[in-house]
Structure 1
C-alpha cells in the first residue's frame, strides 16, 4: 500500500495514538542528546538526527526484572514477571540501520530458546521506519549491503518528500492496520519526488572475502595491531543496534530480591572469566578479535547474515578512535 502523509498529519497520528493509550517511542531530545524514548505528545519528536543509542532497547532493555522473590520465615514466594503486561507500542522514526537490526535480533532471541520478553515486545510493536537524507563520515550502511532507504525491519516506511510530508509504504499487516485505522490522516500519493537520499562514502565490503580471511586467520598476528588501541570500555557494543550479549544476576537480600537481565559485552575482561580463574580471552586483542569474528563470521556461520548494519555509532563514539569500517575494509583487501 502506497500513501502520503503530511508533517502535520504525522504529528496528529502520534497524538491520536498517545490519546488511545499506546506507548509511542520516537527520537527525542534528552538533556541535549537525541535518544529513542516515549513521547508525551508529538511536539517532542526529533526526526533530523540519528539517536545516540539504537532502537534495540525498545525490545531488549538495558536492564529488566525477570523474577522476584520474598522470604518470610521458611516460606519463599517467587513471582515471575509476565510479558503479557507489556504495552502495545508504536516505534516511530526508526532509521534503516536500526530497523534492519531488529530482524537480526529476532534470529538470536528465537533460536534455541524463545525469549518471550523480547518476542512479546516484538509482537506488540509496530515499527515506522524513516529514510535518511543525510549521512556523516561514520555512516557505512551501503558497505554492508543496506541503503538509506532500505525498508528491512519496518512495518511502515516513510520517505521524506520534496515540499514536505512523507511518502508511505506498508510492508506488513501491522503497517496496513496502522494506516487503515487512521485512514483520514493519509492521502493518496501526490506524485511528489523524494528528497535526495544520503550517500555514505565507505566503499562496499566484499563480505565473502572478509569472512574467508576470518575463517583462516584466527591466530593471525595482525590482531595485535588491529586491537592495540582498544580499552575494553564496551561503548561500541552498548551503542550497536545488533549486539545482544547479556548477563543474568540475582540481586537482593536474605528476605527479598530480584533476578535481572542486563546488557553485557564481549569486550569486557570479566565476560569470559571462568570461576577457575582462567580466561580464554585474557588480552584485549583477543576480545576485539571476537567482536569482529562475531559480526562478520560467527553470526554468518549460524544465521547466514552479517551482525552489522553500518550505523557508525561505534566509530563516532569510540573514545580511542577505532574505525570498524576501515578495519573490515582492510581485511577484505588481504
Structure 2
C-alpha cells in the first residue's frame, strides 16, 4: 500500500505544475471554496466540499467552438482544435463530484461525440478524496454511492489518522502518476479516519423510477413548483446537469460560435422559434428535472443524473430539497 503525507501531497501539486500540467483543486476564493486552477500546493484546501462542482474541469461555463469572418468572396471558418487543451490533474475531488464524470461521458459520446468534452476527459487524471465530513444536505448513499466511493477516480486518497493519505491506483493513469512521482509516496499502512455519514440513507431507486413512469401528470409537480423560482442555481451547481445552448456572438463581419451552460428550469429553455413552448409553466419544468435525472437518463444510459452532493439543496433560495422529494416519492 502506498501513502503520502499532506506535505508531500502539496509538493505533488508543485511538481505537476513544474511538469507543465494544469492542476485543478479546491482552493479558497473569497468566502468560499471552489475547484480552480492552482498556482501551488499551498493553495490546496481540503477542508470542505467546494461550493461549485468539478464538472467545470470538463464542461466550462462558456467556450468558443469556432470563429467566423466574412471575406470578399466567402465566409472563413476557424476551428478551435481540441488538441490544444492542456494536460490536467484534478486533485482532491470528492466522490460525489468524481462519480459524475463517467455519467456525463455517456451523453457526450452518444449520437454525437463532443470532442471538446472528451478531449478534456482524456487529458485529465483525477485524484479523488474520501469524505470525512458532511452535512444534512449530503445524500450520496441514497444514490448508491458512498463517502469512500472511488468511481471515476484514477488515483484515490483516503485520509488516515495522523494526517497522511492512503493512495490507491484505480486506473493506468493513476498508476502512471504514482510511478512518475514515486519519491513523494511511501510504503506503509494506517488507520483511516471515520467517514462522513450522509443524512439520508438508502432509497428504492427502481421504485422511484417506476412511480415516475406512471405519474407524468401528478399534483406533486404543482405543489413543488409553486415555490420554484426557476433561477437555475440547482442545475449550475450540480455535477451531473449538462444542458447547454449554442449561440453566435458578434456581427455580420466576424464573430464566434460559443457553447454556454443552460438549464431546463429556465422559462425559455424549450421555447421554439414559432413561439410555442412545450414546457411553458414551472410545474412542467420541475417535473422534467426530476424525470430527466431519475427516469429518462436511466432509461437511456442506465445511469442516474444525481450523485447526492446536496449542492442544489444548500443553494435553493426557496428551500426545495430534492432528497425530500425523492423520499416522498419513495414512501408513496
**Shorter-normalised TM-score: what interval?**
over 0.9
Q: Number of matched residues?
A: 332
> Root-mean-square deviation (CA), in Å?
0.8
Deviation at 1:49, TM superposition (A): 1.1
Residue in 2 aligned with 1:80? 79
Deviation at 1:155, TM superposition (A): 0.2
Residue in 1 aligned with 2:225? 227
Q: Aligned partners of 1:317, 1:222: CA distance in 2, in Å?
A: 21
Residue in 1 aligned with 2:28? 29
Residue in 2 aligned with 1:43? 42
Q: Aligned partners of 1:286, 1:75: CA distance in 2, in Å?
A: 44
Q: 1:39-90 deviations in whole A, cap 9, x for unaligned?
A: 1111111111111110001000000000001224334221000000000000
Q: Aligned partners of 1:48, 1:8: CA distance in 2, in Å?
A: 15
- Which of the numbers 301, 304, 318 marks the counterpart of 1:303? 301
Residue in 2 aligned with 1:140? 139
TM-score, normalization by structure 1: 0.98
Residue in 1 aligned with 2:244? 246
Deviation at 1:219, TM superposition (A): 0.8
Deviation at 1:204, TM superposition (A): 1.2
Gapped runs of 5+ residues in structure 1? none
Q: Aligned partners of 2:132, 2:272: CA distance in 1, in Å?
A: 47
Residue in 2 aligned with 1:288? 286
Residue in 2 aligned with 1:54? 53
Q: Aligned partners of 1:250, 1:27: CA distance in 2, in Å?
A: 33
**SS at structure 2 position matched to 1:50:** coil
Q: Aligned partners of 1:30, 1:169: CA distance in 2, in Å?
A: 29
Residue in 1 aligned with 2:182? 183
Q: Which shows bigger deviation, 217-226 or 78-87? A: 217-226
**SS at structure 1 position matched to 2:199:** coil
Residue in 2 aligned with 1:208? 206
Residue in 2 aligned with 1:328? 326
Q: Which shows bigger deviation, 67-76 or 270-279? A: 67-76
Q: Which shows bigger deviation, 98-107 or 32-41? A: 32-41
Q: 1:133-180 deviations in whole A, cap 9, x for unaligned?
A: 001000000111100000000000000000111001011000000000
- Which of the numbers 259, 262, 265 marks the counterpart of 2:260? 262
Residue in 2 aligned with 1:12? 11
Deviation at 1:222, TM superposition (A): 2.0
**SS at structure 1 position matched to 2:186:** coil
Residue in 2 aligned with 1:70? 69
Q: Aligned partners of 1:210, 1:333: CA distance in 2, in Å?
A: 9
Q: 1:253-274 deviations in whole A, cap 9, x for unaligned?
A: 1211000000000000101111
Moved over 6 A (4+): none
